[in-house]
Amino acid sequence: MNDLQFADDVLARIRAHDGRFHDRGYLFVLAAIEFLQSRLEVRRHVTGAELAWACRDFAVAQFGLLALEVLGFWGITRTDDVGRIVYTLVAVGLLTTQPGDAEEDFAGVYDFHSAFRDDYRWHGVQGRGS
């Protein structure tokens, strides 16, 4: 099986389990995990809140002021959606959890509009909501 076939098979398993988000949303969360891990001194298990904030930081780094729109296009409109994606990735065997972890750990970590609009900093200038 080549890499492309493997990726197609994995995405098909994800869609079969929970297809409510765009394929790129699932890939984005996986990339955000790597983004977060690369910023840590030592790779470790991360909390739902840590990953939710890492998704915000990674989206802003990748998409700037369009981050909210890009994530919205993929169906990700709140931190709860990040949790749904993570637990879908767990269900298909791409991620693991530890005892005590729950999808609810991602619930209401921050308000998307505030985090992506009001708190946005562009070249060191804070957004108007601050």
Q: Is residue 96 domain-resident?
A: yes
Q: Is residue 128 domain-resident?
A: no
* Mean pLDDT for back-to-back runs of 10 residues, the chain (130 residues): 72 86 94 96 96 96 93 97 97 94 96 81 51
Q: Is residue 10 domain-resident?
A: no
Nearest CA-CA partner of 86 in 75, 77, 97, 73: 97
DSSP label at 127? P
Q: Is residue 46 domain-resident?
A: yes
State residue 123's pLDDT score.
47
* Structure-token match 């209401």, residue found: 108
Q: Is residue 98 domain-resident?
A: yes
State residue 14's pLDDT score.
87
Task: Give the number of other CB atoms < 10 A from CB of residue 93.
Answer: 9
Q: Is residue 6 domain-resident?
A: no
State residue 130's pLDDT score.
45
Separation between Cα atoms, residue 67 and residue 69, nearest integer Å: 5
Q: Is residue 5 domain-resident?
A: no
Structural domain count, the chain: 1
Nearest CA-CA partner of 31 in 2, 4, 55, 64: 55
State residue 84's pLDDT score.
97
Q: Is residue 112 domain-resident?
A: yes
Record the pTM: 0.86
Domain that holds residue 27: 21-120
